[in-house]
Amino acid sequence: MTDNLKQSTGIRILLFLVILLVSGLIGVAAAAFFMLMGDTGMKIGQGISSFFMFVVPPLVYYFVTRKQHQLHELGFRSVNKPWPLFIFVGIAVMFASMPVTNQLTVWNENMKLSGALQALEDWMKALEETAAAATEQMLNVDTIGGLLFNLLIIALIPAIGEELTFRGVLQQGLTRRMNPHIAILLSSAIFSFIHFQFYGFLPRMFLGMLLGYLFYTSGSLWTSMLMHFINNGCAVVVYYLNNKGVIDVDVDHFGGSQNVWVVIASAIVTTALIVWCWRKNRKEQTIGTSV
């Protein structure tokens, strides 16, 4: 890694936060203009806000703090060999983990606070209901044009931006200073918290951990970006097919199961696939070191 700036970790974090704040404010201001133009304007505004909040800051930060190979150091590297197998396993992880993810969603939704924390629960529920209403409004399309637009705004841009920010910058920065497992756990917790949807905190943190391990073991953001897009895109497509009447499912719990053995099998298969990725990565590193 070639540093352009020799500041401490604290200064680097402050610099990134300043870039994030300035870019985020620009995005919010631009998004506010479009959100006055109806549903389409709201979607455009959401896309602009997401772009300036998550895509721009990591790119600016790395180009400021690195002399060369910025995109390579940010995570835009070739997928580790054998790359087709890593991609296949990554896709398998996304689908195999669905029952576990949905079980975590159910547990998270059933969490209750009481006493002095009741006001906090009411506030979190209000945020959740507002976010759910906005999401429902954006996903409520039944045309091919609306589907493709949603795939761009809801699936592609967040997949690129959030992987750049939370895996490319945050996870890599933490991994340089601590155990990679802890780095993946912390970056996933922050990834989930920053969405401010607390009744989806556990499943989103679990997703972040899966994406974190896929990024770390494959060595490339291309892998986690693709998996993130698949995860988001599945939700967009399922909503579309539901609206068209092609399927009739509980969209919010798609891929879930009430059969405990299915959930257990999902957990075992998902864990086995992640462990395979981890061991394959370690084996390749050992071979590369010994050559």
Please state, in angstroms and rounded to a whole number, the distance separating the CA atoms of residues 274 and 272.
6
Nearest-angstrom CA–CA distance, 18 and 29? 17
**pLDDT score for 285:** 67
Asked if 99 and 61 sit in the same domain, the reply is no
pLDDT of 1 reads 47
Q: How far is CA 42 from the centre of its chain?
A: 21
Location of structure tokens 């045309």: 143
Residues 39 and 51 in one domain: yes
Do 133 and 222 share a domain, yes or no?
Answer: yes
Residue 100 scores a pLDDT above 70: yes
More confident residue, 152 or 28: 152
* CA 48 – CA 2 distance, rounded (Å): 31
The answer on pLDDT for 227 being more than 70 is yes
pLDDT at 92 over 90: yes
Domain match, 211 and 154 both: yes
2 and 124 inside one domain = no
Domain extent, residue 205, equals 75-290
Residue that finishes a domain, picked among 58, 74, 90: 74
Nearest to 80 by CA among 202, 204, 208, 217: 217
Q: What is the pLDDT of residues 183-197, one digit of tens each?
A: 999 999 999 998 878
The pLDDT of 208-216, averaged and rounded, is 96
Please tell me what DSSP assigns to residue 111. Answer: -
Q: Is 114 in the same domain as 194?
A: yes
Where is average pLDDT lowest: 100-109, 121-130, 144-153, 262-271?
A: 121-130
Identity of the residue numbered 263:
V
Per the CB < 8 A criterion, the answer to whether 188 and 212 are in contact is yes
CA pair distance 127, 198, nearest whole angstrom: 9
Same domain (yes/no): 241, 118: yes
Give the model confidence (pLDDT) of 168-179 as tens digits. Answer: 999 998 998 899
**Which residue is it, tokens 């044009």?**
145
**CA 210 to each of CA 53, 55, 90, 98, 196: distance values in angstroms, whole numbers, following the listed order:** 23, 21, 9, 12, 20
Has residue 122 got a pLDDT over 90? no
Q: Give the type of residue at 246.
A: V
Q: What pLDDT score was predicted for residue 39?
A: 73
Residue 138's nearest CA partner among 125, 153, 160 is 153
Same domain? 126 vs 58: no
Same domain, 87 and 229: yes
